[in-house]
Amino acid sequence: ETEKPWGGRFSEPTDAFVEGFTASVNFDKRLYHHDIEGSIAHATMLAKVGVLTEMERDAIVQGLKDIRAEIERGEFQWSVKLEDVHMNIESALTARIGITGKKLHTGRSRNDQVATDVRLYLRDEIDTIAAELTRLQTGLIDLASREADTIMPGFTHLQTAQPVTFGHHLLAWNEMLQRDYERLIDSRKRVNILPLGAAALAGTTYPIDRLMTAELLGFERPTENSLDSVSDRDFAIEFCSFASLLLMHLSRMSEELVLWTSSQFNFINLPDRFCTGSSIMPQKKNPDVPELVRGKSGRVYGHLMSLLTLMKSQPLAYNKDNQEDKEPLFDAIDTVKGCLRAFADMVPAIEPRREVMHEAARRGFATATDLADYLVRKGVPFRDAHEIVGKSVAFGVAENRDLADMTLAELQQFSDIIGADVFEVLTLEGSVAARNHLGGTAPEQVRAAAVRARNLLRQR
């Protein structure tokens, strides 16, 4: 016999390397709060069905609360010999309250215990992340409303395409985040289900009341199948999949912020407090925050791939492989929280350089499509209009002048249908205002879209 909680059938101590190799306490101790919540609910249920006396329950509950306080004071001695958070806490409970502590694990296994702990933990983190996403979206929508009239070049192929409003561009970002939010909340439904009661894999012979435990822990319902309960990690994969899409979106926003802060674009300023400098080049102010967020997408995609591969081909039911679910999940959670916090703080502080954006849109023949549409309205077939405008642009490129800077006579070289009213459509303001339909870039539409987006936040 060894000193392990499972040592009864063993005749020699665990190999010293194996002990460290198989232990998870160094990373799963972050589950301590939820492990204790789960144990308190389990003990409460066991007392209700008569497996524990009320005195035993009270001693266990008090002991667990004292251990939690000790952990929070930083005084708890974690031991790698006790393998994981579950056995560390259970062993501390017995040291504290005596043999009653040994009754806590009745009708339970670490297999359903860990599955419960991770779900409880992730549920809380999802709620924190949802609130942080809402904070980011709020800042984004506010900025978008302030910038509903600001004109910038819109791009395809990173080449100037057509003028858009800066507010419209920001609300495009918000749409991405809105979908991420919905995915997160949808995945929460599948997190919020209680595996406890599955025990090791087959259920337990005690008259447990899983509905009661589920209710005590705020779960929607207990799981349906004990084998699935201890082996399902889909919910962690779903979280990493949400996180990957979110980080992909944040990386796209980051990329644009990096471009826009460059002196080549110069569309925005990020306040100094979100930037860092160079140790050699005195002039430098680098957009490190968006760059780092862009880079962090890589580790989160990696975690998604780790978990998918971890679960691939695993036979039912619990396998020790599953201990490997925690580090990727935890790091994905930490990374998402860090990136969201950085973005939620930074986005409201973005300082647009409106004249620079306006000038950039003016330089890139951004109203060429408007001129073609003008010709079509005067009866020219679209393909011919395209050709006429193409020639006008070629002239502008050679002369280094935008369409709006040409004289009427110059424009009429390419089509005598062009009249003096053409200059109304060649202005950037006229161009964006004309795209005045649901989902369009007109300032009026941006203001209405911002109201709708804010309403969605209010319904959360």
**Smallest separation, CB 4 to ligand ARG (Å):** 11
**Letter string b/e over residues 33-67, b meaning 16 or more CB atoms within 10 A of that residue's CB:** ebbbbbbbbbbbbbbbeebbeeebbbbbbebbeeb
In this complex, which beta carbon is closest to ligand ARG, that of residue 9 or of residue 73?
A: 9
Q: Which of 300, 209, 206 is nearest to 250 (CA)?
A: 300
Catalytic residues: 157, 278
Of positions 39, 91, 111, 174, contacts ligand ARG by CB under 6 A: 111
Answer yes or no whether residue 331 interacts with ligand ARG by CB under 6 A. Answer: no
Question: Cα–Cα distance between 363 and 163 in angstroms, integer?
Answer: 11
Task: Name which position in 14, 323, 335, 445 contacts ligand ARG (CB under 6 A).
Answer: 323
- Which range binds ligand ARG by CB under 6 A, 252-260, 296-304, 315-323, 446-454? 315-323
Query: Of 52-60, 108-116, 211-219, 282-290, which segment contacts ligand ARG by CB under 6 A?
Result: 108-116
Neighbouring-strand partners of residue 163: 153
* Residue 31: closest CA among 112, 108, 109, 85: 85
Question: Where does this chain touch ligand ARG (CB under 6 A) — which range of 110-118, 238-246, 276-284, 287-295?
Answer: 110-118
| Window of 109-117, 215-223, 270-278, 448-456 that interacts with ligand ARG by CB under 6 A | 109-117
The pairs formed by 281-289 with CB atoms below 8 angstroms and a separation of 24 or more are 287/257, 287/258, 287/261, 289/342, 289/346
Residues 63-92 that bind ligand ARG (CB under 6 A): 84
Query: Smallest gap, in angstroms, from Cβ of residue 110 to ligand ARG?
Result: 4
Q: How far is the CB of 238 from ligand ARG (least distance, A)?
A: 19
Which amino acid, residue 208? I
With 0-12 / 13-18 / 19 or more C-beta atoms within 10 angstroms meaning exposed / middle / buried, residue 85 is buried
* Nearest residue (CB) to ligand ARG, 174 versus 323: 323
Span interacting with ligand ARG, options 256-264, 289-297, 319-327, 401-409, rule CB under 6 A: 319-327
Rounded distance between C-alpha atoms, residue 200 and residue 188, angstroms: 25
Amino acid at 33: H
Our CB check for ligand ARG shows the closer of 297 and 323 to be: 323
Instruction: State the Cα–Cα distance between residues 137 and 250, nearest whole angstrom.
Output: 12
Provide, rounded to whole angstroms, the least separation between the CB of residue 299 and ligand ARG. Answer: 21
Q: Rule CB under 6 A: choose which of 322, 367, 431, 441 binds ligand ARG.
A: 322
- Looking at 34, 57, 105, 110, which residue binds ligand ARG (CB under 6 A)? 110
Q: Please report, for residues 43, 58, 60, 103, 320, the alpha-carbon distance to residue 98 in angstroms, rounded to integers and kept in the order given.
A: 16, 13, 10, 10, 30
Burial status of residue 30 (CB atoms within 10 A of its CB: 0-12, 13-18, 19 or more): middle
CB of 197 to ligand ARG, least distance (A): 16
Sole binder of ligand ARG in the list 14, 24, 116, 223 (CB under 6 A):
24
Q: How far apart are the first and last CA of the chain?
A: 55
Transcribe 125-138 into DSSP letters. Answer: HHHHHHHHHHHHHH
Shortest Å, Cβ 323 to ligand ARG: 4
For the CB of residue 233, give the shortest distance to ligand ARG in the complex, in Å: 10
Mode of pairing for the β-strands spanning 193-194 and 159-165: unpaired
**Which residues of this protein are in contact with ligand ARG, per CB under 6 A?**
24, 28, 84, 110-111, 114, 320, 322-323
